[in-house]
Amino acid sequence: MIHLQNVHARYPTAHRGLAGALNSISFTVAKGEFRWLTGASGAGKSTLLAVLGLSLRPTSGQMDILGVEPARAKRSQLTRLRRRIGTIHQDYRLLEQLTALENVALPLRLAGTDPRLIARESCDILAWLGLAGRENAYPDQLSGGECQRVAIARALVVRPDILLADEPTNALEETESRRLLGLFQEICGHGTTVIVATHNETLLRDFPAPSIEIAQGRVAGGTAPLP
């Protein structure tokens, strides 16, 4: 479960100041729920996902992620919590010096998975995402769509309790996008909470689900009940 209450977040700017990105954000997403995160570019969707993915500390407010309050948690607890959260970034964030397979295997290695299983599970998910035969390719040898799929595979390979996706279909073709959204809804059925940021109206229409709308760093509306 995810619960945010009056969360504010600011980040340092190039002029040594602090820019306010999120203001008084409150919402709850239950276990196994799918939620769209909508809003115009620059509204604060990516910042909110960074806060939920524990990559950005909120400046104030209360937050509960999978029963852990990050503000009070020890660093070791936060590390364990991060392993339960899969994040798909807009810019993929793949390690250039690793192959597609090694990038996907990374979360499993960090989680201490049996080495014999790591290669098999990583290959399986890459194959499912249509990347069979591309395992040894480096990110600079892959197309944008392929990089996107490697990033998706890396987020999914650990079967996370929470999946956060920032515009995951940007570099995908329509068929692949629909297939991916189908997968997200399927893993929701297995208890994973999924939050997908998008401004793709077609997807929002074709895959109706509760949403949270962000505008100028605030929750401006949505179809989901607020706490």
Partner 1 sequence: MKTSPRIRASADGLNRHGGDRGLMAVIAAMAALATLALGGWSGATALQDHWRNALTRTIFVELSTTDPDTSAPDEATHQNADKLIEKLNGSPVIHTVKRLSRSELDALLAPWLGGGASGTLSLPTVLTVIPDRDASMDQVLHTLRDAAPDAAIEPSASWGSRLGLLATSLRISAVGVMGLALCATAGVVMLSVRMVLLSRRKTVEILHALGASDGMIAGRIARQTALMTGLGGLCGALAVWPALTVLARIMAPFGDVRLSGIAWPADAGAWMQAALGFPVPFLELAASVPFVMAFVGWIVSEFSVRLWLRRLP
Q: Is 5 in the site for partner 1 (CB under 8 A)?
A: no
DSSP states along the chain:
-EEEEEEEEEEE-TTS-EEEEEEEEEEEE-TT-EEEEE--TTSSHHHHHHHHTTSS--SEEEEEETTB-TTTS-HHHHHHHHTTEEEE-TT----TTS-HHHHHHHHHHHTT--HHHHHHHHHHHHHHTT-TT-TT--GGGS-HHHHHHHHHHHHHTT--SEEEEESTTTTS-HHHHHHHHHHHHHHHHTT-EEEEE---HHHHHHS---EEEEETTEEEEESSPP-
Rounded to an integer, what distance in angstroms lies between the CA atom of residue 186 and that of residue 49?
Answer: 21
Question: Which residue's CB is nearer to partner 1, number 6 or number 136?
Answer: 136
Question: Which residue's CB is nearer to partner 1, number 101 or number 142?
Answer: 101
| 21 Rama sector, left if φ>0, alpha if ψ -120 to 50, beta otherwise | alpha
Question: Pattern of binders to partner 1 over 115-144, x per CB under 8 A?
Answer: ---xx--xx---------x-xx--------
Question: Which residue's CB is nearer to partner 1, number 31 or number 109?
Answer: 109
Please count the residues of this chain forming the interface with partner 1, following the rule CB under 8 A.
35
Q: Is 98 in the site for partner 1 (CB under 8 A)?
A: yes
Whole-Å CA distances, 175 to 70, 129, 135, 217: 38, 12, 22, 32
User: CB 136 → partner 1: shortest distance, Å?
Assistant: 6
- The piece of 103-111, 166-174, 182-190, 192-200 that touches partner 1 (CB under 8 A) is 103-111
Q: Is 75 in the site for partner 1 (CB under 8 A)?
A: yes
Question: Which residue's CB is nearer to partner 1, number 28 or number 113?
Answer: 113
Question: Which residue's CB is nearer to partner 1, number 113 or number 200?
Answer: 113
- The piece of 36-44, 61-69, 109-117, 190-198 that touches partner 1 (CB under 8 A) is 109-117
Tell which positions 32-61 bind partner 1, by CB under 8 A: 53-57
Question: Which residue's CB is nearer to partner 1, number 166 or number 213?
Answer: 166
Task: Enumerate binding residues for partner 1 (CB under 8 A).
Answer: 53-57, 70, 75-76, 78-80, 82-83, 87, 93, 95, 97-99, 101-102, 105-107, 109-111, 118-119, 122-123, 133, 135-136, 154
